[in-house]
Structure 1
Amino acid sequence: MPQLSDTPRRPTYPLAHATRLKPRRWPLVLRFYKGAIHNLIILPVTLHSLFTALIVYLDRHVTGNLGLPASIVPSLSIVVGLMLVFRNQTSYDRFWTGRNCAQQCATCVRNLARSFLVSATGKEQWDEDSGGLSEKEKADTEKVIKVLIAILYAIKHNLRAEYNIPPTSFSPDENGIHTFRSEYDALLPPDLVGFEDQGLGLPLQLSVIVEGYIRRGFNRGWFHGPQASQLTVQLNTLVDAYGKMETIRSTPIPVAHLIHQKQVLALFTGVLPFATVDDFGWWAVPIVGLVAFTLYGIEGIGVQLEDPFGYDKNDIKMDGIVEDTRREVMVMVEEWKLAVEGGGTQPGRGGMFE
């Protein structure tokens, strides 16, 4: 069976946006951009290398006695290693938890959309002879499905501290004039009034609309009691997953730990030139630079993973997750509309809502 990276790429295959779109052309060892953290560490590595060069020059040409015993290095390296391991484990746990919660939100939207569309057939469960959906019921169902997708967009933007209803960006129209547009304004009810200026997040506000649809579906006979309860559980799970991502976003690593880690790194790489100057001479400059590159690089990875919901290359692909879910759900909506409006499926084509 061919690997995913060997198959032809199409714009509409499942998970097209959340997965890597093309195979890597260069070995990762040769990459210095697009995901690398060199821009975060170039300054401290350069400064420590220059400081080492100064120490070597003073030791060789001025004082001649700046060297320290090499045995001091293992004592400090143990502390530095423990701190970096703790930092990276904590940061990656935040990244992994955030990714799982993002997928949980998408899964809940899939489950709710599937249940809503299958149940909204226009036939009450105890009366197979009842009529089809009214226009109001069709519009209500399509509206709530769009609201489900909008919840994912709202979650993504709230985690990036991009508020307003909906978040807008400059985009040129057909005349080349830049106007404010949104990526999901068409999914929101046209009469929606936001309360973000009063402290109410848009994801929670939209979840109230979904909860109201579940209640209406129960009253219409589309959902029986246990099913309506299970749908509410799915909605609660979605809100709970969003709350966990909010916790990650709003709870950074304690500043006391960050301060001490920076100081310990600076102390270790500052002492290292004195411990290597006698044995390595000018070779101490690249050696210290390499050690600083390694240690500050590990620390830089922790910085990148600490808040995984932004736009960095190493962040969670929130845009791709949301877009893939939107495409999946909207395909189901189109098939559902064919079933309830067209009286079935197209010739020679099986439908999922028969």
Structure 2
Amino acid sequence: MIVYETNKNWLRDISHLARSWTMTKIMRAVLAVGVFTAILCVIELTWFNFMGMSNATGIFSLLGIVLSILLVFRTNTAYDRWWEGRKQWGALVNNARNLAIMAQVTFPHEQKEERVRMATLIANFCIAFKEHLRKGVKLEELIHLSPSDKEVYPKLNHVPAYISTQIHDLVHSQYRKGTITPYDWLNFKPEMKSLMDILGACERIKKTPIPFSYNVYIKLFITIYVILLPIAVIPEFGFWSVPIVMLVFFAFIGVQLMAEEIEEPFGLDCNDLPTGDIAHTIKNNVFEILDARTVPSVVHHEYEKVF
């Protein structure tokens, strides 16, 4: 995710676009449309005069308004998915800290090993969570795995769910031993349950993309619009039609591709959520809260694929 300060450096912010992979795709498409429009200009103005549609610009203005409305809806839908993902990860930060605080105040102080185990499980849940939403959990990123963990985790299809089960088991074992009260156990349950609720909400975002037919329809509309637009503007603007058509296409395809980039916010694109940094922030927080700092708390920065 790109972190920047609003209203501080206008030109520097714009310069970042030159290194964006999405912008690279946009510019390639815009240049192709510019070449196509230039060829039509040469054919129309130099050799032939069979595409005279000087009164068609009004029609394309109306079509442009329709297309703009569709793109606004498309962008808003994509941003809603991005923002919902951010809210879920914000809730994960709060709930993980609350779970660690409850363990800190209820687990007996002499149970240092259990505190470290709780901090490790919460941290590993968040680290596994971020990769589960990508291409699968990377076991080498998980910390302080026990021999049984190293044996079991590679066989699992859903590592975060199993780690959540281990958290429940650790708390329930404290309840069975009588080291925490029934009221403590009841207070633990909502915080533990919230971990899987948040994971399920993020899985819903990832596994339910924008309907394919709707996405294809907008792309088809943009393509047809840009192919026919030169026919309407060349008789009136001549070779100036080339930059005009390129600018119109730049606006439309830019909005569409930006929406496609943010609609699945858990990857490594430059505008995706910094889930790696958030997960490792939680790791450091829970080790500190549970006073388990005898285990090194490493500050990690996951450098997303910025540009």
Q: Is the Cα–Cα contact under 8 Å of residues 163 and 196 in structure 1 kept in the other structure?
A: no
Q: For 1:27, what is the secondary structure of its paired residue?
A: helix
Aligned to 1:318: 275
Q: Which amino acid letter does the alignment assign opposite residue 294 of structure 1? A: A
Q: Structure 2-normalised TM-score?
A: 0.86
Identity, in percent, stands at 24
The yes-or-no answer on 1:331 pairing with 2:305 is: no
Aligned to 1:194: 152
- Count residues with an aligned counterpart: 290
Distance 1:34 1:79 in 2: 31
The yes-or-no answer on 1:86 pairing with 2:62 is: no
Q: For 1:334, what is the secondary structure of its paired residue?
A: coil
Residue among 72, 85, 90 paired with 1:103: 90
Q: Which amino acid letter does the alignment assign opposite residue 73 of structure 2? A: F
- Pair 1:325–1:190, CA change in 2 (3 A): same
Q: For 1:313, what is the secondary structure of its paired residue?
A: coil
Distance 2:155 2:216 in 1: 34
Structure having the higher helix fraction is 2
Where do residues 11-160 of structure 1 align in structure 2 (5 Å cutoff)? Answer: 20=3, 26-35=11-20, 37-68=22-53, 69-122=56-109, 133=110, 137-160=111-134
Q: Which amino acid letter does the alignment assign opposite residue 46 of structure 2? A: H
Instruction: State the shift of 1:336 in Å.
Output: 7.8
- Pair 1:302–1:322, CA change in 2 (3 A): same
Distance 2:223 2:25 in 1: 15
More moved, 202-211 vs 214-223: 214-223
Tell me: higher relative CO, structure 1 or 2? Use CA pairs within 8 A at least 6 residues apart. 2
Q: Deviations over 1:1-55 (max 9, x none)?
A: xxxxxxxxxxxxxxxxx99488976532333245573122123212211111111
Distance 1:198 1:332 in 2: 29
Distance 2:240 2:102 in 1: 68
- Pair 1:33–1:311, CA change in 2 (3 A): farther
Q: Is the Cα–Cα contact under 8 Å of residues 123 and 280 in structure 2 kept in the other structure?
A: no
Larger Rg: 1
Gaps of 5+ in 2: 295-307
More moved, 21-30 vs 38-47: 21-30
Distance 1:205 1:73 in 2: 56
Gaps of 5+ in 1: 1-17, 123-132, 167-181, 338-354
Instruction: State the shift of 1:227 in Å.
Output: 2.7
Q: Which amino acid letter does the alignment assign opposite residue 72 of structure 1? A: I
Q: Structure 1-normalised TM-score?
A: 0.75
The yes-or-no answer on 1:292 pairing with 2:252 is: no
- Pair 1:275–1:21, CA change in 2 (3 A): closer
Aligned to 1:7: none
